[in-house]
Amino acid sequence: MAAISAATAELLDGYDGVYAVQSFNPFALQWFMNNRPDVPRGLLSKNFIMDGEGQSAVNRIALTGMFTNVVAHPNFISYELKSIGEPTFEAIRAFTDLPMFAWTLKSQDQLDTAKALGFDAFIFDSFETQLKS
C-alpha cells in the first residue's frame, strides 16, 4: 500500500489545484497522514457485511464499523448512499463530528435524499445536478 500511496502523492505533488484523497483502505490514509499530513483524507465506507467483496468476516466487520479509523484518522467519511440506515452507519453519525459525504449519487432523487439526510457533501456519477436549496 505504501508504494501506491507514494506514487499517488508524487503525481499529486505536481498538481496545482485543490484536492483530497480518499480510499477504502485505511492504510493508504495512514500513509498520507504520516507523509502528507496537509492533504485532506477521506475514508470510503459502506455495508461491507452484506457486500464483502472477498473480504474475511473480521475485515468486513472492521470496515463496516469503521474500527479502522484509529489507523486512518480520516478528515471526512464518504458513505455509500444505498447503505444508509444500517445500524453501523447510524452509530458513526452519532459518535463523530467528521463531515459526511454521500456517494455515489446517480440521480436527482438520490441527491435530494442525501440532502434531506443532512450530508455535508456529495459525490456524483453521470447526471447533471441541481444543487438549489
pTM given for the model: 0.85
Here the cell at position 27 is 492504510
Report the distance separating Cα 44 and Cα 46, nearest Å.
7
* DSSP track, 45-75: E--TTTS-TT--HHHHHHHHTTTTHHHH--S
Taking only the tens of pLDDT, the chain with its 133 residues reads 899 999 999 999 999 999 999 998 999 999 999 999 999 999 998 877 776 677 788 887 777 777 778 888 999 999 888 877 777 777 777 888 899 999 989 999 999 999 988 899 999 888 877 766 5
HSE-up of 103 (CA within 13 Å, CB side)? Answer: 17
